[in-house]
Structure 1
């Protein structure tokens, strides 16, 4: 019996993102159907975009029924275990960071296996990582985290996709190094939330100025 490691990592990423979607649905007061749909959207959206770009047939989310299991499991997990919806914000961020970390690695790997150039592999890894989150936040009427100036979202994904692509070309990529890349992304994302790290604003003149003391 052979273990399809890329598939397992992909499904794990779907589950992590789906939990974040179901948690957001709970915070917004959605019903269980909305929880499943929002979890499916964030868990599968980035992978669907990735597979369409790679043009290798129907997206995995539609050709392999096992991809439906993680969103269903995530919705049930949130339904039965979350007691205080208002205090679930930290959990949401943690699961979202976990999905981001896994998807920037698996998205880049799939592009590398398809023979795409390094820049395209990095971009597709980032697209896989942030695509579902954009759909989730827009559907829930929130500003997508990738556009939120208060923390880092796409930059950790770029770091993870870049590390994965570089290690693949150097023939250093294996389970341990791939896991390390995902851990770096997760840690960077959580530290940015903890310490308020963020990228420069689009225009320097828009930065908030300290009020002058009279």
Structure 2
């Protein structure tokens, strides 16, 4: 005699199996909590975020923005925060050439978020925060400028560079500051060269008139 199972039990079993498969899939590809990512190496954390962005998960974008905010608030502290922001800026910049428009848009959103945060530190904050914020934008600019793409990425590159210039006009290569000219006091000034003595013009002797014949 063939044994049959109630339809309700079969449906419950299928639902449980589907839920388990979905749970395992999300656990395998979901990003770690932002505060947990702060405890790993900066370059590894940046690579994890970039890999997760490619999964096109809105939760990943939210977690990545939160992690960027946490690191930017501590940019004046340990060097690891600066290293993470520079590494993430460079790695995310590479995504603007992706074939999928959704990934390109997500990359541009993350770059704009970093630019906005760094621009705020450049305008009004301590000197070390301003200096490190400029370093982050300079690293981002160098990577974006290196992108050689005549397609859709070209427009994204122009928009990102315009955002960087609006936040802080930084260049990818640091320009040497011009040294101000030294101000000399009265004693250090070079003596003026003596003016040549004026010579009175001499009158030419008048020629005598020849006698009339």
Structure 2-normalised TM-score? 0.31
Higher radius of gyration, 1 or 2: 2
The higher-RCO structure (CA 8 Å, 6+ apart) is 1
Structure number with the higher helix fraction is 1
